Structure 1
Amino acid sequence: MKLPLSKHLSNQEISRVLEFVAEVLALKNANPYRVRAYQNAAASIAEFDQQLHRMFLTDPEFDNIPAVGDTIATKLTELFTTGNIKAFQQYVKGVPEGAYVLQQVHGLGVKKAYNLAQELGLNDGETAIPKLLTAAQQGKVRELAGFGEKSEADIIHALQEHQQQGQRRQERLPLGEALEMAQGIVKILQDCPAVERVEVLGSLRRRRPTIGDIDIGIIAGSMTEVQNCLEQAQVVKDIRAAGDQLLRVVLVQSRQADIKSVPAEEWGSFLQHFTGSKEHNIQLRELALRQGKSLSEHGIKIKDADTGKMVVRQYGNEAEFYRELGLKLIPPPERRGKDEIERYRLDKVPAG
């Protein structure tokens, strides 16, 4: 495949390219530090408040962008000078073209998109989405390793919504505007009898200056009852997808919001995972690996002292989750993938 690069890519488009390249390198077992550098740069550029292609005209060094070192800065210079990055094109050589298109569908991700494109022969980016939708509707996705009936149904919902919205992704919102939208739907959920807990997720919970997606986590007895509450809410214009664990709604401002449900016993790990930031979560995963553990939104996989087998331990709140890793609870705004893990060790007092 050939990456769709040009001199005029937006920050969001550059971020997607970097994230895609990072995941492709990871699938090829590249140096993990190299992969992490691209992931960190992707996350930083996605949140950067100036468009890089414009900034290049006055500040071609990119030395004020967090997580963008000399190597990536050189590649950005090549992009804005020539409209291409030769090394990136070499990295993705042999990758099915459909993988890049599919990874832009909400909920798929690069690894899943790559596997689907590889297994189903989706080599044409223009036809990858309709061909995958047809395959899923015919029950062919559930037959693939790592997929099942539920994931197939989720893929159908995601593809149909993507087609309805077209290829245009939503622009990032200022924090205040995003908070106002989110608070409207949070209030509806708090008043819904089926909902026990509600919390905003992602960059909104971390109070970043600009917000991409509006994601909300809940503990609920019945998603059907939650859907009924939302259908009666004035702040909701439409419900695009409804499942056992996810409701995707369109607000009256035409902005999409995802409401994710989780069992109460997984609330702590769920909150941590979906709050981010990506850089922070990468550092946490590396810390866990050094301790012989592994992390997911479902809990922490730990070796059982009696059987010697790895078991998933669940956490009802974030403080317990962080304590398992030898850390004090890190406030969401500080989860930026910098020095917060060192500062919040249980045997240290956080600086001022």
Structure 2
Amino acid sequence: MVRPNEEVEALLQEYADLIAITGGDAFKARAYEKAARAIGGYPADVSHLDAAGLKEIPGVGKSIAEKVIEYFRTGKVTVVEERRAQIPAGVRQLITIPTLGPKKAMALYEDLHISSVSELADAIEAEKLRDLKGFGEKTEENILHGIALMQQAGGRILLGTAMEAAEDIVAELSRVTGCEHCAYAGSLRRMKETIGDIDILVAADRSAPFMDALTELPSTTEIIVHGEKKTSIRTVKGLQVDLRVVRPDAWGAGLQYFTGSKGHNIRTRTIAVHLGLKLSEYGLFETEGGKRVASRSEDEVYARLGLPWIPPTLREDRGEIEAGLRGELPEVVTEQDIRGDLHTHTDLTDGLAPLEEMVAAASKRGYAYYAVTDHAPNLYMQRMTDEKILAQREHARSLDGKHHGMRLLHGTELNIGPEGEVDWPDEFLKGFDICVASVHSHFSLGRKAMTRRIVRACDNPHINVIGHPTTRLIGKRPGIDADLDEVFAACARTGTALEINAQPDRLDLGDEDILRARSHGAKFAIDTDAHSIVQLAYVRYGIGTAQRGWLTPDDVINTWPLRRLRRFLHKDRAD
């Protein structure tokens, strides 16, 4: 089930977009955007709050609180419905295109009567946009790129969205009488950054109770197939869920088979054939005679094939079979290995919670250390000043060690400018325990300039981590055009870590880039970039991505003891 907070976040964000489309007050639209983010990141279930409780959330005033209460009471908000009625459905579809804002979408409808993505693509091909005010050849290129991004994403959904839905369904089916095992499988278990369909597997003697239970879940809105061996439904969020039930004695074989990937399974079946065996979702059988020799657990199946158990995140036919046969499979990093988070934000800039609350929440995760890294002044909308950051430093120092001995690192997220410059001079940067540096603007620099920009940041002796290195937003914004191999080599040379940003819409670096960077000898930091308490749990997605990149704890600086981490952060500076 979707968290009520996320439902409200989506509704308020839509209302903000509708205000912008209809030419409403820009300040009002921004207020609703801010409230949407605040509610989405609020740790408590907002459906249980009254007006007074809602108004305690940053950015939520009387009017917004009333709308939230109306939504939970009636299932809709009157003013949102009224705004929707003013906007043709086609225009609302247009604003889902990355790079196309609401004002331009409305202009396209009013001036050219464009109300669909296909009509827009045809109009660009016919060069009809160039005569419109505010449009031009470059605008056309950007819109076409946005359409391509949307089509590339297709029906796929972000890892985090799929995970929340799958875990809710697994929890519900696990309560059905007769369930011996229940788990999600497929690309979700392999922690791919986007998911097509959600695969759920159950081990039980009878399938019917589980097939019925899936169709009867409150989140089920459409039954696609309802059968004895497979049932498929669509959720209220539009996610397709495929359920299969296997006998308990075939659980291991079924889980291995339905986890995939296709390439990995082809390799394991090929090994089976060479051993005179046949591998399927029902088990591992002798070719002659049909005797089943393994099936109850994945460990058993892999062992009979002469392999160690292979973590699902490695099962992409990228050398894991060969490494397993040689006994060289990596002991990949796990969430239990993480000793601290090195990139987080508070309400001093664009976070939602004050420092004390973020620190307390991090301590509850059992961290040995934790860094707060609010934005520096060159990200102008955050209005950071020297005085504010120094006051925060004093506050952080007063909290150091006060939560179960957890050590606090005071840092900042700097902005890498077009020439590789950052917000503060060297003398001021010396005062920070850690500096993350990220690209937040000028995304369209040429390849050479972009590469030089990031390499120069790596060469800065005070910069410890390159945050979200490619700047991509999955399905919305492509990564920057830079020679990443040169960047990775610079990171290895200078002792600058590359971030694996665990935000589900970033997962940046991605797994393929991690593999390349690792070959250069670079080190990594798995960070949440948390802007709320809830987002501290996103570390799991960063871990999954790091595992897909074959990283071990030694590759990841925030698995290290604090003393070793501090040596790395010093970057061998003369001071």
Larger CA Rg, structure 1 vs 2: 2
Category of TM-score, reference length = shorter chain = 0.3 to 0.5
**Normalising by structure 2, what TM-score?**
0.30
TM-score normalised to structure 1 length: 0.46
